[in-house]
Amino acid sequence: MALLRIVEVSKAFGDLVANDRISLSLEAGEVLALLGENGAGKTTLMNILFGHYTADSGHIEVGGERLPPGATDAALAAGVGMVHQHFSLADNMTVLENVMLGTERLWSWRSETAAGRKRLLTLAADFGLEVDPDTPVGALSVGERQRVEILKALYRDARILILDEPTAVLTPQEVERLFETLKAMVAKGLSIIFISHKLHEILAVSDRVAVLRRGRVVGEVATAEADREGLAELMVGHKVSRPMVEHLAPGDPVVELEAVGVAPAGRGRPLLERVSLEVRAREILGLAGVAGNGQSALAGVLSGVLAPSSGTLRFAGEAVTRFAPRDFVARGIGRIPEDRHATGIIGEMSVWENFICEDLGEPPLFRWGRVIDGRACRDLAAELIAAFDLRCKSMEVPAKLLSGGNMQKLILARTLRREPRFILANQPVRGLDEGAIAAVHARILEAKRRGAGVLLISEDLDEILALADRVAVIHGGRVGPALEVGAVTARELGAMMAGDLGGAGEKLPEAVP
Amino acid sequence: MRTEPREDAPLWLLVVAPLAAVAAALLLCAGLILWAGESVPEAYGLLLKGAFGSRFALTETLARATPLILTGLAAAVAFRARFWNIGGEGQFYCGALAATWLGAGMILLPPLLMIPLLFLAGALAGGLALLLPVLLKARLKVDEVVTTLLLNFVILLLVSYLIEGPWKDPMSLGWPQAAPIVEEGVLPKLLAKSRLHLGLVVGLVAALAVWLVLRFTVWGYEIRAVGINPQAAAFAGISINLTVLRVALISGGLAGLAGVGEVAGLKGYLTLDLSPGFGYAGIAVAMLANLHPLGVILSAIFIAGIYVGADSMSRAVNIPTYIADVIVATSVLAVLVSLLFVKFRVRFGG
């Protein structure tokens, strides 16, 4: 008897069929991995399960009983808990308050805090999810916040826990710890749906894998019988080829940072502290680190939106004094921002308008330096759309309607068409599907072959190890020495990401021949 | 009943939604007319006739729409950049002040120079009235809603002081009003025996100009970009502060033009009741037009028609003119709701 049954669920948005007669079941004490590219229908399915959307047809059963469609409270009452990729926690409240929020009866005189605290501590001990109940959530690390989210679900008696891309923000060590927690949960009879696109994690943690493609279940296999290549092919629909990385002889430094520091907005620790690094032509320098360790400040300095409070930045040997994005673009710096939606595109503007946002006023796209030449801009857009295989209904649709991969292609096209000598790629493939990841990586490697230097900031060690020539680790606003990728293991990097930089900040990074 | 985001809205919906909203507002207000004990078709018939039913009614409506087009544009262009200028009323009076200062005897030029000069001075004064709020916002992050709103009262008190004191017209028999605009500065009438003046042309040209600027120029691109996503705009190299300053000057300038039009085209001299809230009504005009510069023309004529028509209706049947305020307010709310229907699809049942 399955604990959860998804029966023939279909859902369409206009012409787009997001879910096409999907049937899945989940046994008690099982980890089911849901694998699929972005846009395969995973999120829609989970939103139907959780009552955010109503299915066009089909239904959901929990423990043999049908869930009323579109009722989130019914899903919660039936024991379905969800941990979203982006946490929904109140930063200014304590862990305990966050966990209890919404669970207390509205018309009760007494506060149930004492009982809640006891219950929280028991749950935390049972599942290895230690957090201090009285710390404000704002002061916690990302890994700890995730623990709070899981505790929130457990506190509500979740029997089925849905985790949406849970490892995206964690260090390798934290991932291992999360997997131990998941195993403890399964041992206690809970069931888990684990949504991910990282194949090795799915292979490590799940019992069964369901693969979604274009709204349909295209395969369901026991993990023991699955292999990496087979799953990847099933997910994408065709063979996936990893881009070939070739090591080229690096050229002169294109970007040099010397003891760069960034003071915090208010009190507190500096965002960057005596950071020195060097990116040379024809090389990719990977910058690994857990989110929130100064990557944003470093990217801000290198994008020209943040002026450092100390130190020097040299570009092609020339010291930069004016920190302004327009100047940076003109100098030949290409910038791929961390958050596509928030910084990369202007959502309600059309696709073609988003191509020209770094060129405002420049001929030939603008006449008399002021007036948009609609034809020239559209011609350019058509050219770039074709060259970068950007899929969209028309270049007149708002850019926010593009899928993540196509949005990233838009940003890449806009950046790379200027043939920049230095590229800042900040989380360039976060949230993208396999096909798009391969396309983005191929473009970055191509730029490197052309002679550009690339700084690849990523939280995904696998990405860095696959792509970069050298790697450095950022922690607490300080950057360790850059090491040859072949000479360092993921575990060593993991230790550095947790804070053991080995005397960084005091000395310049060693020059590597 | 549930809502789901719509991927893209069909064109017919974009056209039908605001019309349906206005119809819904009229239907809702019909309840009030019934409550007042009058016949709904008769009341609305009279309102329509009073607004558009004769040459006189039509010219009155257009004369009333003239300042509303300009203050509506002022709000629309500012709101496009998410600069919440609630100070249209104050900037309107700044324009009127500038026109009075120059036009009530200080300089004498032939009309062909005098009139453009008055408009220019009014626009400048209206724009400068926003300088302080913009500086406070850029330097100290002071909310412009508060500063622009409160500046309205400061400016009104300044007007009050001037027309009771140094600028008081000695020929006014004690009424608090400034000296009249000299003949060379008075705006020509568009039609004989009507109150319709050159200000309407200024309004229409301004609407067209704002639309062209927003749609086809770098400035317009920057204004829209800053309004939609300031973070991405800044990342692309658009200066937020400069854009906001520019928008503020344009917005205040447009409201200032409205003030010039009223003082030099309609009333002839500055008083404290020159504007029955044109600055605030401009916000409703802009919202009703969904911040579209050309839509502002239609929504200004609609709102002006409601006010003018309600005046005439209240003389014939027993319904107070306040019904106009209610209809306008309900229309704005209905349009805001209708925008939800454009953005989201509504599904009923499971």
- Residues pairing with A5 in the sheet: A25, A61
Residues of B numbered 234-293 whose beta carbons fall under 8 angstroms of chain A's beta carbons: which are they?
234-238
* A59 and A195 co-located in one domain: yes
A509 C-beta neighbours (distance < 10 Å), count: 18
Give the nearest partner residue to A349 out of B4, B218, B228, using CB atoms.
B228
A163 assigned to some structural domain: yes
Tokens linked to B155 = 């400016």
CA dihedral A251, A255, A261, A263 (to 10 degrees): -150
Q: Say what the pLDDT of residue A1 is.
A: 66
Give the nearest partner residue to A54 out of B218, B236, B350, using CB atoms.
B350
* Contact criterion met (CB < 8 Å) for B350 and A337: no
B303 assigned to some structural domain: no
* Residue B16, pLDDT above cutoff 90: no
Q: What is the DSSP-derived secondary structure letter of residue A197? A: S
CA B82 to chain centroid = 17
A413 assigned to some structural domain: no
Residue A324: its chain B contacts at CB < 8 A?
237
Confidence at A513, pLDDT banded by 50, 70, 90? very low
Residue B228: its chain A contacts at CB < 8 A?
346-349
Q: What is the DSSP-derived secondary structure letter of residue A509? A: P
* A393 and A424 co-located in one domain: no
CA dihedral B186, B190, B193, B194 (to 10 degrees): -90
Q: Say what the pLDDT of residue B90 is.
A: 96
Q: Looking at the complex, does the CB of residue A372 fall below 8 Å from at least one CB of chain B?
A: yes
d(CA A148, CA A150) in angstroms, rounded, equals: 5
* Residue that is last in its domain, among A194, A210, A236: A236
Q: Say what the pLDDT of residue B2 is.
A: 63
Q: Looking at the complex, does the CB of residue A360 fall below 8 Å from at least one CB of chain B?
A: yes
Q: Transcribe A421-439 into DSSP letters.
A: SEEEEESTTTT--HHHHHH
Confidence at B349, pLDDT banded by 50, 70, 90? low
Give the nearest partner residue to B218 out of A69, A349, A360, using CB atoms.
A360
B31 assigned to some structural domain: no
Q: Looking at the complex, does the CB of residue A305 fall below 8 Å from at least one CB of chain B?
A: yes
A408 assigned to some structural domain: no
* A379 and A464 co-located in one domain: no
A481 assigned to some structural domain: yes
Q: Which of A71, A117, A78 is nearest to A94 (CA)?
A: A117
* A230 and A339 co-located in one domain: no
Helix/strand number for chain B, H first, E second: 14, 2
Residue B229: its chain A contacts at CB < 8 A?
342, 345-347
Average pLDDT over residues B177-198: 91
d(CA A191, CA B263) in angstroms, rounded, equals: 75
Residue B233: its chain A contacts at CB < 8 A?
346, 357
B223 assigned to some structural domain: yes
* Contact criterion met (CB < 8 Å) for A371 and B216: yes
* A99 and A67 co-located in one domain: yes
R_g (Cα) of chain A, nearest Å: 24
Q: Which of B2, B79, B219, B221 is most worth mutating to test chain A (most A CB atoms within 10 A of its CB)?
A: B221
Residues of B numbered 175-234 whose beta carbons fall under 8 angstroms of chain A's beta carbons: which are they?
216-219, 221-222, 224-225, 228-229, 231-234
Give the nearest partner residue to B236 out of A70, A325, A366, using CB atoms.
A325
Q: How many domains does chain A have?
A: 3
**Crossing angle of the two packed helices B199-216 and B293-316, in degrees rounded to 10:** 150
Q: Say what the pLDDT of residue A76 is.
A: 86
- Smallest CA–CA distance, residue B212 to chain A, in Å, is 10
A272 assigned to some structural domain: yes
Give the nearest partner residue to A343 out of B231, B237, B350, using CB atoms.
B231
* A64 and A184 co-located in one domain: yes
Most confident of A97-101, A221-225, A435-439, B245-249: B245-249
* Contact criterion met (CB < 8 Å) for B235 and A325: yes
Q: Say what the pLDDT of residue A306 is.
A: 92
* Residue that is last in its domain, among A209, A236, A263: A236
* A387 and A435 co-located in one domain: no
Confidence at B159, pLDDT banded by 50, 70, 90? very high
Give the nearest partner residue to B7 out of A14, A69, A326, using CB atoms.
A14
| Host domain of residue A305 | 241-344+419-513
Q: Give residue B177's identity as a one-letter amino acid code.
A: Q
Confidence at B214, pLDDT banded by 50, 70, 90? very high
Q: Say what the pLDDT of residue A176 is.
A: 85
Q: Say what the pLDDT of residue B13 is.
A: 82
* Residue A445, pLDDT above cutoff 80: yes
Q: How many CB pairs under 8 A join A and B?
A: 83
* A144 and A81 co-located in one domain: yes
Sequence-distant (6+) residues with CB within 8 A of A17 are A10, A11, A214, A215
**pLDDT tens track for A71-104:** 888 888 888 888 887 788 888 889 998 888 888 7
B114 assigned to some structural domain: yes
* A73 and A187 co-located in one domain: yes
Q: Say what the pLDDT of residue B44 is.
A: 93
* Contact criterion met (CB < 8 Å) for B232 and A358: no
* Residue B3, pLDDT above cutoff 70: no
B16 assigned to some structural domain: no
* Contact criterion met (CB < 8 Å) for B232 and A16: no
Q: Say what the pLDDT of residue A128 is.
A: 81
Q: Say what the pLDDT of residue A511 is.
A: 40
* Residue that is last in its domain, among A331, A366, A401: A401
* A338 and A351 co-located in one domain: no
Q: Which of B264, B220, B247 is nearest to B66 (CA)?
A: B264
A152 assigned to some structural domain: yes
* Residue A65, pLDDT above cutoff 90: no
A407 assigned to some structural domain: no
d(CA B15, CA B11) in angstroms, rounded, equals: 7
Q: What is the mean pLDDT of chain A?
A: 86
Q: Which of A346, A355, A418 is most worth mutating to test chain B (most B CB atoms within 10 A of its CB)?
A: A346
Q: Give residue B224's identity as a one-letter amino acid code.
A: R
* Residue A507, pLDDT above cutoff 50: no
B44 assigned to some structural domain: no
d(CA B289, CA B300) in angstroms, rounded, equals: 9
pTM for this structure? 0.79
Q: Say what the pLDDT of residue A506 is.
A: 42
Tokens linked to B224 = 């829209």
* A252 and A351 co-located in one domain: no
| Cβ contacts of B141-147, under 8 Å, gap ≥ 24 | B144/B83, B144/B84, B144/B85, B145/B84, B145/B86, B147/B87
Phi, psi for residue B108 in degrees, rounded to 5: -125, 120
H-type alpha helices, A164-212: 172-187, 199-205
Task: Give the Å distances, CA to CA, from A322 to A316, A325, A378, A426, B230.
Answer: 15, 9, 32, 22, 21
- Tell which wins on pLDDT, B136 or A235: B136
| Host domain of residue B167 | 64-288
* A151 and A161 co-located in one domain: yes
* Contact criterion met (CB < 8 Å) for A343 and B237: no
CA dihedral A135, A116, A98, A194 (to 10 degrees): 110
* Contact criterion met (CB < 8 Å) for A371 and B224: no
Beta carbons of A367 and A457 less than 8 angstroms apart: no
What CATH number has the domain bearing residue A228?
Answer: 3.40.50.300
Cis previous bond, A270, omega within 30: no
Q: How many domains does chain B have?
A: 1
* Residue A226, pLDDT above cutoff 90: no
Q: Say what the pLDDT of residue A405 is.
A: 83
**pLDDT tens track for B221-261:** 999 999 999 999 999 999 999 999 999 999 999 999 999 99
**pLDDT tens track for A294-350:** 899 999 999 999 999 999 999 998 999 999 999 999 999 999 998 888 899 998 899
Beta carbons of A85 and A164 less than 8 angstroms apart: yes
Which residue from B minimizes the CA distance to A398?
A: B8
Confidence at A230, pLDDT banded by 50, 70, 90? confident
Residue B4: its chain A contacts at CB < 8 A?
13, 53
